[in-house]
């Protein structure tokens, strides 16, 4: 069953600036490119490691572990760097009253190992703390 979680106000999303969030230990990446807002489970399929947060280089999402790059709109592999890797898993996004909502699903948890989910939760707490300190 899907659950919609709020990400941000659409007007606050910056062009080509990934927003990373965690839900139930699953890392998600939401990015605005032009008029489109795309979202993915931020797990590189090469070694099932979280891209949390993913890097953005030369207009591409880049796995910080293996430097594999993905298209930020489609999640398709652009440069596999000789690795066996698949496209990122897309996540549905809805915009309601100017609020970007992410459609999380139980099947997303199956893409992330238990140890990786714990790591993502820990990293998310660090990110949240940094955000609070900057406000």
Total number of domains constituting the chain:
1
Closest CA to 76 of 45, 37, 112: 45
- Residue 44's domain comprises 3-134
**What predicted TM-score, i.e. pTM, was given to this entire model?**
0.88
Backbone angles phi, psi at 70, to 5 degrees: -130, 150
pLDDT digits (tens, 9 = 90+) for 20-61: 899 999 999 999 988 899 999 999 888 888 988 878 899 999
In the structure, what pLDDT confidence band is assigned to residue 62 with cuts at 50, 70 and 90? very high
Cα dihedral sign for 81, 83, 87, 91? negative
pLDDT at position 57: 92
């Amino acid at each position: 069953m899907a659950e919609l979680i709020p990400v941000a106000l659409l007007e606050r999303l910056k062009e080509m600036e990934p927003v990373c969030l965690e839900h139930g230990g699953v890392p998600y990446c939401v990015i605005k490119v032009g008029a489109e807002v795309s979202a993915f489970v931020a797990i590189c399929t090469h070694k099932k490691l979280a891209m949390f947060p993913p890097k953005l280089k030369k207009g591409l999402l880049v796995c910080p572990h293996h430097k594999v790059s993905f298209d930020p709109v489609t999640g398709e592999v652009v440069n596999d760097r000789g690795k066996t890797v698949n496209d990122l898993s897309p996540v549905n996004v809805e915009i309601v009253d100017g609020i970007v909502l992410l459609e999380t699903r139980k099947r997303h948890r199956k893409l992330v190992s238990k140890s990786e989910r714990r790591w993502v939760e820990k990293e998310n707490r660090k990110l949240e703390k940094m955000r609070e300190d900057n406000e």
